[in-house]
Amino acid sequence: MAFIDEAKFFVKAGDGGDGCVSFRREKYVAKGGPNGGDGGKGGDVIVRTSRKIQSLIDFRFRSHFKAERGRGGQGKDMHGRKGENCIIEVPNGSMIKDDETGEILADLLHDGDTYIAAHGGDGGLGNSRFATGTNRTPRFASKGVPGEERWLRIELKLIADIGLVGLPNAGKSTLLSKLSAANPKIADYPFTTLEPQLGVLHFKFSEPVIIADIPGLIEGAHAGVGLGHNFLRHIERTRILLHIIDVSDDNFKKNFYTIEKELQAYKEELVERTRFLVLNKIDLIDPSDVPRRAKWFRDKGFEPVSLSCLTGHGIEELKQVLEDYLAEAEHPDLSSDESKDAP
């Protein structure tokens, strides 16, 4: 599934340095010629993709990017130093748009792709440049050109690797908050989650992955009952589904089938997707019941992970299971994503 993450940011390139007015002063030369140097060019603001950047989260902390201004020219024909560029590192697959018009300015797909988001202003010319036959001692220089500035929008299509499904109240959002830094709304009533929520799961050794938490599914969800239906398509393309089951509920078997049937009714292929079962809320049942309940799922051919989001018990084990699996699994082909996602 693809989510769009976006951010607005302001770029201001460096102004060009001013040209300098100066004349040669030598001990025995009465009237030296002009020797004012040019101003340096202002730095550019450059957007560059990097594999190391995984999300737009940095834009939450910083939305203004300014490149350095060029230095002014000096006497003795010394040109001003060029301003330093400001480089904004963004994830591969970022799209840059003009915030005002929405025009697409750049589609940065590959590692190291760059786009000059704001050009630095040219430096002004020193007075030596203005000397002519008729005016040998120009007393003026030109000013540096201001650097470009504008508001831009960056959009990133995120492919969630892991989708969380389950009945309302099963603890999906709580699990998301345990596995990632996401801070979704959690409450003891159904349909707390109204919109898909994303989080980034960091592993010890592997690349981080994106988890999508969607609103709870109920019976009939595939046909539009409740909230979940619209969101099922969001998890269609995840590599793994995590089915969260409140195993403290005595109806856990029936609840399990409800979701499995909804997934199947929505799309046959979803029940063939790699699914891990998470048996949540084990803190609410007698410890001796945990293996017994887990066995019921194991007999069905699953390898459930029993845990408690409340106490944190089992969370590390779940992370390990996911990391091991993802290390083995093939990466999906992102390049063909566009066509598959089209309505």
Q: Which residues bind Mg ion (CB under 5 A)?
A: 173, 192-193
Give how far the C-alpha of residue 261 lies from the chain's centroid of Cα atoms, to the nearest Å: 34
- Binding residues for ligand GTP, rule CB under 6 A, total 24
Q: What is the DSSP letter of 206?
A: S
Nearest to 215 by CA among 237, 236, 232: 232
Q: At what angle do helices 172-179 and 315-328 cross, to 10 degrees?
A: 80
DSSP 3-state of 340:
helix
Residue 215 in the binding site for ligand GTP (CB under 6 A): yes
Residue 306 in the binding site for ligand GTP (CB under 6 A): no
Nearer to Mg ion, 180 or 193 (CB): 193
Interacting residues with ligand GTP between 265 and 284 (CB under 6 A) = 280-281, 283-284
Residue 187 in the binding site for ligand GTP (CB under 6 A): yes
Nearer to Mg ion, 94 or 173 (CB): 173
- Taking the complex as a whole, the smallest distance from the CB of residue 60 to ligand GTP amounts, in Å, to 23
- Taking the complex as a whole, the smallest distance from the CB of residue 183 to ligand GTP amounts, in Å, to 12
- C-alpha angle 249/277/256, rounded to 5°? 45
Q: Are strands 274-280 and 305-306 parallel, antiparallel or unpaired?
A: parallel
Residue 309 in the binding site for ligand GTP (CB under 6 A): yes
- Taking the complex as a whole, the smallest distance from the CB of residue 311 to ligand GTP amounts, in Å, to 7
CB of 288 within 8 A of CB of 253? no
Which contiguous run of DSSP H or E holds residue 106?
strand 104-108
Point out the residue whose Cβ comes nearest to ligand GTP.
Answer: 216
Q: Taking contact as CB under 6 A, which single stretch among the options 92-100, 104-112, 184-192, 330-338 is the one that binds ligand GTP?
A: 184-192
DSSP 3-state of 197:
strand
β partners of residue 46: 87, 116
- Taking the complex as a whole, the smallest distance from the CB of residue 199 to ligand GTP amounts, in Å, to 12
- C-alpha angle 151/154/160, rounded to 5°? 160
Nearer to ligand GTP, 47 or 279 (CB): 279
Footprint of ligand GTP on this chain (CB under 6 A)? Answer: 166, 168-174, 186-188, 190-193, 215-216, 280-281, 283-284, 308-310
